[in-house]
Amino acid sequence: MAGDKYSVLLPTYNEKDNLPIIVWLLCKYFHDSSFDYEIIVIDDGSPDGTLEVAKKLQEIYGENRIVLRPRAKKLGLGTAYIHGIKHATGNYIFIMDADLSHHPKFIPEFIKKQKEGNYDLVSGTRYIGSGGVYGWDLKRKVISRTANYITQILLRPRASDLTGSFRLYRKEVLQKLVEACVSKGYVFQMEIIVRARQFNYTIGEVPISFVDRLYGESKLGGSEIIGFVKGLLHLFVST
Amino acid sequence: MAAPAGKTTTADVSLRVVLLEGEWCCWRIIMTKLMEWLTGAVLILGPWSAVVTNTIQNEFTKQYYMEILLFPVFLVAVFGLVSIAVIAYRVYTFNDCQEAAEELQQQIKEAKADLAKKGLKLD
């Protein structure tokens, strides 16, 4: 549809090695699919020079494609989205991770799915269809599936992947949802889906592959699990 | 698609009351998931405890008293077994995305080469 523009919000912290690759991939897939886009890099004062790399990328791809909206220090994901939305000139917003765990090749699939069902939001899911994860051992898979199972039973969200953060939103939908959410971390992404259901927004899903740390596996610590359980219980009693 | 207007309060964690836009005289009580589960529990455990404490009794309840008494245990056990089976199946069929990792590694090399040509050198 003429006039659609997609703003990709990329909150970054110490991603000087990954940022050029993700930007290169985003520009490649957007360019090949002819959709109008911009990439908004929200760097939280990374000490490793991520912002300098972002400026060089801006020189290569142009200031209309790479928009820099840095912040002084690490301020959290919710506020990063709010900050990004304020500066976004697109009518649709992609959120994704900048560490190469989410692959831009799915972007045309998200857009196609959104148009198919005129969805308010499209969520990337690792748990159905061709979705999956690279780099998880058996223990991690069991924890993940068990946590998702418990979440499905307690919250019945009618979305298969609640903690995923590769999503496409209409701009005004994301704005309203971020304002309504109070949680942090994994639970923030869960709360967004739960609130979206409360507000009767329509949700579509696209299977995605999640490549968890190409080099070495990311850790899932006890404190993250406890935080997840607390957040889940909070959503259970309040929504 | 009616969206609830304004902020909802969560002062009472068991019930949320939402004022619907345009329905100035109409309050809608939304059941939280906790309330749904408590309601379900009361619907099952209410009659069950009536039978088990002999408040209600008849031929049927006298004959099957033990079975009725153990019914909740049976439900939990079935739920536990089904859950384990479902989770085991989902873990077993969890896609490993080997090709995705290989494709990414290949594209990283491509990206680095292309960016170097455009003036950004990466290690």
Question: What does the H/E/C string look like for B55-117?
Answer: CCCCHHHHHCHHHHHHHHHHHHHHHHHHHHHHHHHHHHCCECCHHHHHHHHHHHHHHHHHHHH
> Is some CB atom of chain A closer than 8 A to the CB atom of B82?
no
Q: Which residue has the tokens 């850790």?
A: A219
Please answer whether residues B90 and A149 qualify as being in contact, where contact means their C-beta atoms are separated by less than 8 angstroms. yes
Percentage of chain B exceeding pLDDT 70: 76
Give residue B83's identity as a one-letter amino acid code. S
Main-chain phi, psi angles of A115, to 5 degrees = -70, -35
Q: At A101, is the pLDDT very low, low, confident or very high (cuts 50, 70, 90)?
A: very high
Query: Which residue in A99, A162, A209 has the most chain B C-beta atoms within 10 A of its own C-beta, making it the best mutation to test that interface?
Result: A209
Average pLDDT (A131-143) is: 94
Q: In the numeric block, which tokens belong to residue A14?
A: 């110490």
Flag if A103 and B4 touch (Cβ within 8 Å): no
Average pLDDT (A208-221) is: 78
In this prediction the ipTM stands at 0.89
Q: Which domain holds residue A118?
A: 5-238
Query: Which residue in A19, A22, A27, A141 has the most chain B C-beta atoms within 10 A of its own C-beta, making it the best mutation to test that interface?
Result: A141
CATH number at residue A215: 3.90.550.10
Please answer whether residues A177 and A189 qualify as being in contact, where contact means their C-beta atoms are separated by less than 8 angstroms. no
pLDDT at position B7, please? 46
Q: Where are the beta strands (DSSP E) in A28-161?
A: 36-43, 66-68, 92-95, 121-125, 132-134
> Is some CB atom of chain B closer than 8 A to the CB atom of A6?
no
Partner-chain residue, chosen from B4, B87, B97, that has the shortest CB–CB distance to A134:
B97
Distance between CA A191 and CA A234 in Å, rounded?
10
A157-195 pLDDT, tens digit per residue, is 999 999 999 999 999 999 999 999 988 877 899 999 999
Beta-sheet strand order (sheet of A66-68): A66-68, A36-43, A5-12, A92-95, A167-170, A121-125, A203-207
Please answer whether residues A163 and A190 qualify as being in contact, where contact means their C-beta atoms are separated by less than 8 angstroms. yes
Look at residue A12 and tell me whether its pLDDT is greater than 80. Answer: yes
Chain B residues within an 8 Å CB radius of A199? 3-4
B41-58 pLDDT, tens digit per residue, is 999 999 999 999 988 888
Distance between CA B54 and CA B41 in Å, rounded?
19
Q: At A3, is the pLDDT very low, low, confident or very high (cuts 50, 70, 90)?
A: confident
Main-chain phi, psi angles of A139, to 5 degrees = -60, -45
Total of domains in chain A: 1
pLDDT at position A221, please? 83
> Is some CB atom of chain B closer than 8 A to the CB atom of A149?
yes
Q: For strand A203-207 and strand A121-125, is the pairing parallel, antiparallel, or unpaired?
A: parallel
Look at residue B2 and tell me whether its pLDDT is greater than 50. Answer: no
Neighbour tally for A3: CB within 10 Å: 6
